[in-house]
Chains A and B, each alone.
Chain A
Amino acid sequence: MAERSEEVKLLGMWASPFSRRIEIALTIKGVSYEFSEQDITNKSALLLQLNPVHKMIPVLVHHVKPISESLVILEYIDDTWQNNPILPQDPYEKAMARFWAKFIDEQICVAAMNVVGKTGEEKDAAVEATRDLLKFLEKELVGKDFFGGKNLGFVDIAATLIAFWLMRTEEIVGVKVVPVEIFPEIHRWVKNLLANDVIKKCIPPEDEHLRYIKDRMVKLNIKPA
């Protein structure tokens, strides 16, 4: 009899926020999966076959069928395994969750990446732009443990990109994009994340992660601070 865990395979990369989102979701659902670590600088034939359009991780393979794009995969996981729902049940709350997740990927992620490698006035402008966007999320967290309310939800999973990539790399980039004085709610939310067992299990180990980011910046000719 085939192992149940072989039915679910995740092609990912240990330092990718998009890959880690999927691991968080599968762990919340208690779904066993086989993880296949991919070298994104030398893409495997399997990856190119399973995601010919974007050639990127993560790719979830379930019953031999591949699904790509992290937010699409998260919705698929929530549709397929109904325990511990990730998206809210209420249609309006669901729409809001989708809205904020899209906002994180299309606006915040882009703005935050724009800070890296900039200096002087350009850097200041990039930081301000990122902070203006983060202020919307700051407001969303008022009175809540997580974006999802009492439990981790869709937006929290998407926003781990902020907690463990944007905020972790602040020292390396050379500026506190998310200072606690301006973003007390976000900082409180990060503490809640760090106390959560699923998050503790699924985020990259800090030291190794910081070393990786420094290395990458050197390779890309960006001076770490």
Chain B
Amino acid sequence: MASGEVKLIGSWASVFVMRARIALHLKFISYEFLQETYGSKSELLLKSNPVHKKMPVLIHSDKPVCESNIIVQYIDDVWNSSGPSILPSHPYDRAIARFWAAYIDDKWFISLRSILTAQGEEETKAFIAQVEERTELLEKAFIDCSKGKLFFNGDHIGYLDIALGSFLGWLRVVELDANHKFLDETKTPSLTKWAERFCNDPAVKPIMPEITKLAEFARKLFPKPQG
């Protein structure tokens, strides 16, 4: 089951693609990284993900798996005897990790992205306040989940670390754009320390995009209105 060619359709800038790459690195899996060109979608992508036509898509022995958090769990299932466990072992801890991973995508990320597309100062302020509130919840979640250890998952990075940590590059880009810090030592002391540890993890460091390059890409994706 664990043998068979592994390909990943994605892009250097995508948070969701990064999740899959971190999981593959944690399990020491070699894979072919098929980078999409910005502005167009390859035939392979459209064929492998006809429902959403989005990256990442993991192709394992010619079978496509879509949706970043589903890919991460698939990698953990298939290569369960390789590297550390990505999902927590206890069912309750797993449920909590899944709960917060869903929260990050459904609520936290949506507010964060809204800052980049906000029209005018009032709207921007409102979304900033929303992200502040939601980040505070994640600070508490970290304290609960980590139980005094280094990561949400304990001693090693895991599912929830990957779910949130993959956003750290983009979070920095939004902080610079909005001139507002969401992670800092006074407001979110635990998450701030965790963020640094996460970015320096050997499975993460080689693929965390450079902030200036990401900021430049963000300006292309989210052009500012004139004036």
Contacts and interface: CB of A to CB of B under 8 A. Distances in A.
Interface of A: 53, 62, 65, 67-69, 71-73, 75-76, 79-80, 91-92, 94-95, 98-99, 102-103, 136
22 contacts: A53-B103, A62-B92, A72-B95, A76-B91, A76-B92, A76-B94, A76-B95, A80-B91, A91-B77, A91-B78, A92-B60, A92-B63, A94-B73, A94-B77, A95-B65, A95-B77, A99-B65, A99-B67, A99-B70, A102-B70, A103-B51, A136-B51
A94 to B, nearest CB: 7
Contacts of A94: 73-74, 77
B99 interface: yes
B102 interface: yes
Contacts of B63: 92
A98 B92 contact: no
Contacts of B73: 94-95, 98
B20 interface: no
B137 interface: yes
A75 B94 contact: yes
Contacts of A68: 99
A69 B96 CA distance: 10
A103 B71 CA distance: 15
B74 A95 contact: yes
Given A69-B98, A136-B51, 17 more contacts: A68-B99, A69-B102, A72-B99, A72-B102, A73-B95, A76-B94, A76-B95, A79-B95, A80-B91, A91-B77, A92-B60, A92-B65, A95-B71, A95-B74, A98-B70, A99-B65, A99-B66
A213 B55 CA distance: 38
A67 to B, nearest CB: 5
Interface string B51-64: 10000000010010
Contacts of B103: 53
Interface in B27-84: 51, 60, 63, 65-67, 70-71, 73-74, 77-78
B102 A95 contact: no
Contacts of B96: 67
Contact of A95 (B1, B70, B91, B98): B70
Contact of B98 (A53, A75, A136): A75
Contacts of B71: 95
A51 B224 CA distance: 38
A189 to B, nearest CB: 19
B125 to A, nearest CB: 23
A46 B183 CA distance: 32
A68 B77 CA distance: 23
Contacts of A71: 102
Contacts of A99: 65-67, 70
